[in-house]
Amino acid sequence: MSSNTESWQAKAQRKRDQILQGIPEQWRLSRADLDRAALQSDLTGSFIQSFLDQETIEITSLETNEINPCLHELFIEYALDRAKELDAFFEKHGKPTGALHGLPISLKDQFHVGDFDTTMAYVGWIDGKLGIDKEKSPVFESDLVKELRSLGAVFYCKTALPQTVLVGFPYGHLNGRSQGLTFISLLAWRNNQQHHWRLELVFRSVLSTKPWLSDPAVVPIPWRTEELESIRSRVNAKGQSAGRPLKFGFFWRNSTLEPHPPVRRGLKIVAEALQRAGHIIVDWNPPDHKVAEHIHAQFLYADGAHDVQAHISRSGEPIIPNLKSRFGLREPMPLLQYQDLTMQGLDFENRYADYWNSTGTEDGHAVDAFIMAPAPHAAVIPGKYLTPGYTEVINLLNYSAVALPVTRADKALDVVDTDYIPSEGLDKRNWDAYEPDIYHGAPVGVQVVARKFEEEKALAIAEVVQAAIRAAQT
């Protein structure tokens, strides 16, 4: 049990011990296995499969895995009990409870499940939810958890987040830093279509529960199959145009942050594949994303870090080094200034929409979606994620986006561009961080971006992009 005199270090260690005890002894790796894992640059594929039987490999081969201190909660017995309930229901009624009957689902530690902790990487949230101690609050669950459970989902763990959820990799005082990275595997391209089908299944199933009835913040839009079919009807199985081609905008670079050579090459691969498939490619030159980055960042820090400071003060833990300069306590933004910031955000949305509409002025065909990198680098190396600048504009605009893999960094192909002279500051820090040998083999992806509330369209277009890439590589 915790006490008022328990240090944050002791509290975090108690939580780590609790998580470890939740892992059955026979599932734990030996010290030798862990040492061997530490030498691997990629823990997926043959390495992780060396610990699994053939049946398990077949079941899990569509996904990637990692060996990490990546759990904040692990409730295997809870999951097994739930699975037994579902088996009994099926045996009695001869039908599943819902579209996700028996599907194991992990959740980020922002969701409330049963009476398990929700820490969101704050040591001060251990033994409670949202900083509310268990003895002071009844058991409550997130709406999404209730909806997924009603469809037959089985929850078995909650995965790690960074302190404040504003760092590009899990890092905090509860579990330290998760050293590995989770990637969408490129080893089996044939499975990508199935991956999107699973996403469609989950989205469609959750929306079938009408979540807007319990959460008024949810927009009451049911799953629209016709939006997917309107895209799918325009292409064949190889993603090639089979009627009116799709029109793609390509955002090649952020005005303040040049992408690394592997990212440049990844974007070029996608553009060439889509052109070969008969689609239209145009440069995407919208209102300066730097403006959106500035507005979004001011929203994040508008409260003067009072919320974050309140959470860390519960235990006395310090702010992690990556965030220390941004979350020092200060005066909140004045109300009128915040109101003006809101108007700036709305103005940027309007200007962005005007630009998007203008892409159809000449041919009557506005861009269907635009393609951009999720970050200026390949998969994150701990300590090298310098800014969320490539995604902040999407957050500010509330656009729909789907990230997908394209290739892997290759030190032979992605050599340092000595002709590019970075600007001082963040651009130079990012450019200097690129080392071909270190990034070699790291996944490179892009994101397909559609307009607000166009999730179905974004998913369908992502299928087209992946099919075109696959066709170009065969």
- For the chain (474 residues), the mean pLDDT of every run of 10, in chain order, is 76 90 86 85 78 78 51 90 96 95 92 90 85 69 94 93 78 70 34 60 93 93 95 95 96 93 98 98 97 95 94 91 86 97 98 98 96 93 82 95 95 96 94 94 95 96 96 90
pLDDT of residue 188: 28
What angle is formed at CA 285 by the lines to CA 280 and CA 290, rounded to 5 degrees? 145
Q: Is residue 143 part of a domain?
A: yes
Domain shared by 169 and 240, yes or no: no
Q: Are 141 and 158 in contact (CB under 8 A)?
A: no
Q: Is residue 387 part of a domain?
A: yes
Domain shared by 386 and 449, yes or no: yes
pLDDT of residue 290: 94
Which residue range(s) make up the domain with 374?
A: 230-284+367-473
Q: Is residue 316 part of a domain?
A: no
DSSP 414: S
Domain shared by 386 and 263, yes or no: yes
**Cα of 150 vs its chain's centroid, Å:** 24
Q: What's 414's domain CATH number?
A: 3.90.1300.10
5 Cβ contact partners less than 8 Å away, ≥ 6 residues apart: none
Count of domains forming the chain: 2
pLDDT of residue 358: 98
* CA gap 421, 419 in Å, rounded: 6
Domain shared by 383 and 245, yes or no: yes
Q: Is residue 1 part of a domain?
A: no
* CA gap 73, 20 in Å, rounded: 9
Residue-wise burial string across 256-272, b where 16 or more C-beta atoms lie within 10 A, e elsewhere: bbbbbbbbbbbbebbbe
Structural tokens at position 79? 């999951």
Domain shared by 236 and 117, yes or no: no
DSSP 69: S
For the residues of 182-221, what is the DSSP string, one character each? ----SS-GGGHHHHHHHHHHHHHHHHTT-GGGT-TTS---
Domain shared by 134 and 242, yes or no: no
Q: Are 459 and 450 in contact (CB under 8 A)?
A: no
pLDDT of residue 326: 86
53 Cβ contact partners less than 8 Å away, ≥ 6 residues apart: none
Q: Is residue 150 part of a domain?
A: yes
Domain shared by 168 and 234, yes or no: no
pLDDT of residue 3: 53
Q: Is residue 411 part of a domain?
A: yes
The last residue of one of the domains, among 177, 198, 222, is 177
Domain shared by 130 and 23, yes or no: yes
Q: Is residue 317 part of a domain?
A: no
Q: Is residue 320 part of a domain?
A: no
Domain shared by 166 and 240, yes or no: no
Domain shared by 387 and 248, yes or no: yes
pLDDT of residue 113: 92
* CA gap 97, 152 in Å, rounded: 6
The last residue of one of the domains, among 137, 155, 177, is 177
Domain shared by 23 and 150, yes or no: yes
How do beta strands 280-283 and 400-408 pair?
unpaired
Q: Are 143 and 215 in contact (CB under 8 A)?
A: yes
The last residue of one of the domains, among 177, 209, 239, is 177
Domain shared by 390 and 265, yes or no: yes
